[in-house]
Amino acid sequence: MCTLVMHLERRGVVRHLCTGVVMEQSAYNNITGTMKALVLQQPGVAIVLAAVSAVLGLAEWVTWEASRQVLPAGAGEAGRIEPGESVLVLGCPLPPLQRWRVRIATRSTEPTRARFVFSGGAVKTRIPEAQMMADYAVHELRVPLHNVVVEDQSTSTLENIVNSAPLMVDSPAIKIASNTMHALRARAILSEQSPELATRLVRARDYIPFEWGVLHVLMLAYDGYRYVRRRRSAKR
């Protein structure tokens, strides 16, 4: 039982389950020591930890796999960068997710060599989502202003793709920056709406193992819920 906790500790899982942030080594050692003691004293704790690690592992695998789907052959290498490529950043009403998507975009390319297309209207905000993301990119992440394009009319993922596609027609490569399942859905929409542009898709760095810890499970569950809702609506 104690071996399980030590294995999780080596893999960094315990650290993410405990806090999701970097902590002082002494505090981290105290927490992991307490967990090991609990496993030895309470066999049920080992079962719970095993179940949690299994769910986390499954969520990570599904997310990893999704990040590599609906891409042309040979486009699964996230480190590939082409001068003049476009990175489409999909909007969201929640500022923390907006900023995360912008960070995904900037880490997926070389900001001085790429065009950033920020897409999203004022759905639940006074200022268009695209403008808020562009401001964050320029002022906080030092993305060159002349590399930024704002598309501020879209109110859905479908509109993100339809309205942004004309802004990327001259791009040698296209990356879509969002949380992994949302980016997968956007790539599928692009493949339906503009098959020619879809042949230029390249994987963005939207997936990093355990980046969001337990939240990966919640985001996966939410995307599954939305998928079921869309399926039911389509049948009506």
pLDDT of 199 reads: 96
Give the pLDDT score at 9.
44
Do 90 and 163 sit in the same domain of this protein? yes
The pLDDT, as a whole number, for residue 78 is 73
Question: Does residue 150 sit in the same domain as residue 191?
Answer: yes
Domain contains 213: no
Under DSSP, the state recorded for 116 is: E
Q: Between 161 and 14, name the one with better pLDDT.
A: 161
| 90 in the same domain as 194 | yes
Question: Residues 147, 186: one domain?
Answer: yes
Q: Are 100 and 51 in the same domain?
A: no
pLDDT in tens, 176-219: 999 999 999 999 999 999 999 999 999 999 999 888 777 777 77
Provide the pLDDT for residue 19: 41
Tens-digit pLDDT profile for residues 20-65: 444 455 655 665 566 566 555 666 766 777 777 788 888 888 888 9
Same-domain pairing of 133 and 194:
yes
Region for 34 from its dihedrals, namely left if φ exceeds 0, alpha if ψ lies in -120 to 50, beta otherwise:
alpha
Helix H or strand E segment including 29 = helix 25-41
94 and 159 belong to one structural domain: yes
How far is residue 62's CA from residue 216's CA, in Å, rounded to a whole number? 10
Pair 104, 156 in one domain: yes
Name the average pLDDT for the chain: 83
Predicted pLDDT at 35: 56
Other Cβ atoms within 10 Å of 226 Cβ, number: 13
**In a shared domain, residues 134 and 185:** yes
148 shares its domain with 187: yes
Would you state the structure tokens that stand for residue 68, as one six-digit string? Answer: 């590599």
Establish if 53 belongs to a structural domain. yes
Give the span between the Cα atoms of 52 and 220, in whole angstroms. 15
Angle at 84 between CA 63 and CA 97, to 5 degrees: 35
Q: What total of structural domains would you count in the chain?
A: 2
Structure tokens at 10: 């080596």
Return the closest-CA partner of residue 119 out of 165, 69, 181, 172. Answer: 165
pLDDT on residue 77: 76
Residue 214 lies in a domain: no
- Which residue in 141, 79, 135 sits closest to 111, CA to CA? 141
Question: In terms of residue numbers, what domain contains 157?
Answer: 86-198
Do 84 and 115 meet the contact criterion of CB atoms below 8 Å apart?
Answer: yes
130 and 182 fall within a common domain = yes
Q: Do both 42 and 135 map to the same domain?
A: no
Check residue 150 and give its pLDDT. 98
Cα 232 vs. chain centroid, distance in angstroms? 26
Reference 35, options 26, 46, 25; nearest CA is: 46
